[in-house]
Every structure is written in C-alpha cells, then in structure tokens.
Amino acid sequence: MGRKQTGLSSCAFPAHSQAGAQPISPSVSLQVTCTQDSNRVFSASRDRTVMMWELHGTSGPTQRFPGHELVVTGLAVSPDASRLCTGSRDNTVRKWDVETGECLCRAALSRNLVTHLCWVPGEPYVIQTSEDKTIRMWDSRELQVAHTFPGKQHIQTSCDVSQDGRYCVSSSSGFAGEGCEATLWDLRQTRSRVCEYRGHLQTTASCVFLPRGPALTPSIATSSYDSKVKVWDRDTAGRQGTVLV
C-alpha cells in the first residue's frame, strides 16, 4: 500500500538512497517483476504495454511487448529468463520471447480476467489467479491449462509460489470479514487445498512466501485493504504477527 508512481526506481540499501529512477509511461505501473539475477525488470501499466528494463547500463526500456487489448495485470518471467508470460483483462495469457519481443503463443478463455501470474521454480508451469474466482496452472510450453484448482467464492487477487515449488498461496477479495482469506494449495501431490489463513476484514490484496532461515518456521505474509499486514505459520495457519500500515 502506498503512493502510486509512474516511474521505476532502484534503491541502494542499507542507506535507502535512490540509485536511479526511470520514466515508464504516463500510466500508473500496475505490475513489476524481475529475473532471478535481478538484472532485468519487467513493468506493465494501464497503457496495455509491457516493457523490459536493464538495471545497469541503459536509461530506457530495452524491449517492448505490445499486443494486449486491455490493461496488463499479470507478469511472470521463466527461471532461465528466456520467456515472459503476461496476463490481461482482455481474457488472454500470452508467452513472449524475452530477447526478440515476439509473441510465441496466445491463449484466450472466456471471463478469464487475469489478476496475477507466478512462475513455478524449476518447472514449466505458471500459476494464474482471476476475477472469475479461479486459480489455474498453465503449461507454458504450449500455453494450455494443465490444472484448475477447486473454485473459490470470491475473486482471487494474487498468488505466489514457494521457493521449492511445492506450494502455492492465493488471496481473496471480500468485505467485513466475509472472504478476505488466503489459501494454501499443494502443487505436487493432491493439487488441492491445504489450509486457509483467516483474519483480515477487507480484501486481501497480496500474499507472499517469506524467505526461510535454517531455524525459522515456514511463514506467509498477507496484506489487506484493512491496512494490516499479517504473518502466518504456513503449516498451522496460526497468526504470528500483525502490523498496521
């Protein structure tokens, strides 16, 4: 949660000084993702464009990925950084060649208003959430749906995949405590729901697996329109902490 921006910034830590800022477009940037080595950043905005930026050496975008007919709302880059998947409110998911900017394939599903995309580490699969309350697993090789998870009662707003590729977490819209949950899904065995994390009072806007240290409990963080960030025990769904933001 924070101020909307129309530029892409990189920060030098721990000093928190701004190392550089690059104008993206007159539109608000909605999604940002980067390659595993963090050398390339991809941004999507309301102007329906996706751009690639090199964090070192150039001041402007080094590649553009045009073609979506409505706002781009999902970005996921492959582990080897050669492919980019994008999703949009135009009901399509598209796969691109990162180096050439060519659209390699396109898949359209009725009412599939994409809200988020996340690539499964070490796999050809991409997880996608949608306003049709569905979580899908796409096989990126032919861009076909490999699995559809059991439907939810509310719009699915975001998703993330654990570093080992075993689990996915998705977040739900809601109001006054109805909905507003995050859900843990098994990706490797049952491909079904494992548990839910409940406690937010408004739409849960985002969810993420937290990095795990050798002595730390596997944890998940969620943020919500109720102005709270909550941290959960991944396996027990117990609440570990709440921060008001």
DSSP calls for 154-178: S-EEEEEE-TTSSEEEEEE-EETTE
* Structural domains of the chain, ranges and CATH numbers in brackets: 8-244 (2.130.10.10)
| Rounded-to-integer distance, Cα 114 and Cα 73, Å | 6
| Rounded-to-integer distance, Cα 148 and Cα 209, Å | 21
pLDDT in tens, 183-240: 999 999 889 999 999 999 999 999 999 998 776 899 999 999 999 999 999 999 999 9
pLDDT in tens, 98-109: 999 999 999 999
Structure confidence at residue 29 (pLDDT):
57
Low-confidence ranges of the chain (pLDDT < 50): 1-21, 24-26
**For the whole model, what pTM was predicted?**
0.86
